[in-house]
Amino acid sequence: SQQGEEDPQALSIQEGENATMNCSYKTSINNLQWYRQNSGRGLVHLILIRSNEREKHSGRLRVTLDTSKKSSSLLITASRAADTASYFCATDAPDRGSTLGRLYFGRGTQLTVWP
Amino acid sequence: DGGITQSPKYLFRKEGQNVTLSCEQNLNHDAMYWYRQDPGQGLRLIYYSQIVNDFQKGDIAEGYSVSREKKESFPLTVTSAQKNPTAFYLCASSSGFSGRARNEQFFGPGTRLTVL
């Protein structure tokens, strides 16, 4: 079963609006990461937040992490048409012994930003 | 240019044939991964390798095989035993292990495999 699950599955907004995507996970983590995937391409790492951090910023991206609720959110401010892509959260699983190093990806949120 | 490459970009296979997907990285990363992506299903881990000459099964290893003879190369063979191989295959690499260092993964551009 997948560790992370994104919500919503699809999000459609106008340029200039903010986009918020959520991720829930099941077990303890060392860190949580967000990735972006343009259609038919590989994933690109956006931002990593450690379990002892609550909020992190990178440009127009803001990520929050609530370990008590096992959830994270990704906020893209002032969205652009070029932000149209799928966004995935990924978690590690430090308590899973031999699976050290692997990430668990959710199914992703498909974001469409209309010009 | 540092990065991770996959070839070919598109691959067509007849039923009953084995095919090998190439993955090469020049990032000097220890760990490499193979994922399968189907529409609406996200990424599922096929195999991963944390060091040369060692690899572990992921969640959907049946019908696939890998080798890790060199640090920079991690080829994936899709065998005839894989019943539904049509999918988008992604290779990734990372430098660190969970808890010890950032385990950010770097992805290749993917190979789209279609079984005819």
Q: What is the pLDDT of residues B85-104, one digit of tens each?
A: 999 999 999 986 544 456 78
Residues of B in contact with A43 (CB under 8 A): 43, 90, 92, 105, 107
**pLDDT score, position B102:** 61
Region B28-50 average pLDDT: 92
User: Where do we find the tokens 């894989």?
Assistant: B82
Residue B70 has pLDDT above 90, yes or no: yes
CB A88 within 8 A of CB A110: no
**Minimum Cα–Cα distance from B43: chain A residue:** A105
Residue A100 has pLDDT above 90, yes or no: no
β-sheet bridge partners, residue A31: A50
User: How far apart, in whole angstroms, are the C-alpha atoms of residue B116 and residue B105?
Assistant: 32
Q: Which of A43, A92, A99 to mutate to test the interface with B (most CBs of B within 10 A)?
A: A43
Q: What is the pLDDT of residues A29-39, one digit of tens each?
A: 888 999 999 99
Residues of A in contact with B41 (CB under 8 A): 107
List, in sequence order, every beta strand (DSSP E) within A15-82: 19-25, 31-37, 43-50, 55-58, 61-66, 71-76
DSSP state of A99: G
DSSP strand pairing (A10-14 vs A109-114) = parallel
Residue B40 has pLDDT above 80, yes or no: no
What counts of helices (H) and strands (E) characterise chain A? 0, 11
Exposure string of B54-64, with b = 16+ CB inside 10 Å and e = fewer, is: ebeebeebeeb
